[in-house]
Structure 1
Amino acid sequence: MIRRLFYLSLGALAAVWVMRRLRALQPDHIAHRAADRVSGAMAGLRDFAGDAMEAAAKRETELRAQYGLDTGIDPTLPANHYLKDGR
């Protein structure tokens, strides 16, 4: 009798586990999890890029001040004004 009760509970447990695994494999669940992971990764990359750009700008300012590379660029002119056009 105890053996039958053991196998009955083991079968019920296996059925519950299989149903949960099958439910987790449904396309909407998979897409939702993938979107959450991608969203989290993109937020991390965005934070990293912002920190890297900020550090690079700070370091560039330090180097320009250290080596006296203030070019005296006029901020009112267009960005490509100082480029040679090949003529």
Structure 2
Amino acid sequence: MIRRLFYMAVGACLAVWSMRKLQSLRPDHVARRAVDRTVRFADRLRDFADEVRHHSAIRESELRTGFGLDKVDATGASRDDDVKDGR
């Protein structure tokens, strides 16, 4: 009798587990997970691009300071017309 109850409980647990797995494979659930993963990946990619831009701006300012090119105005011309900024 105890053995039968044990196997009925195991069977019920397996049935519930398998039904939940099958329901998670429905197309709307799969699509929702794919969209969520895509959005998270896009956010991480955007954060990475922002970080790269930030560090490249820092490095560019270090290089401009190191080469003495930090006195360039917005038009690209330096204080002395004969000095080029390397672009």
TM alignment of 1:4-83, pairs within 5 A: 4-70=4-70, 74=75
* CA positional deviation for 1:28: 0.6
Given the two structures, how large is their TM-score scaled by the length of structure 2? 0.77
Given the two structures, how large is their TM-score scaled by the length of structure 1? 0.77
* RMSD of equivalent CA atoms: 1.6
Amino acid at match of 2:38: V
> How many residue pairs align between the two structures?
75
Structure 1 runs not aligned, ≥5 long: 76-87
Structure 2 runs not aligned, ≥5 long: 77-87
* CA positional deviation for 1:69: 2.9
Runs of 4+ in 1 over 4 A off after TM superposition: 70-73
Determine the C-alpha separation between the residues in 1 that align with 2:20 and 2:73.
Answer: 67
Larger relative helix fraction: 1
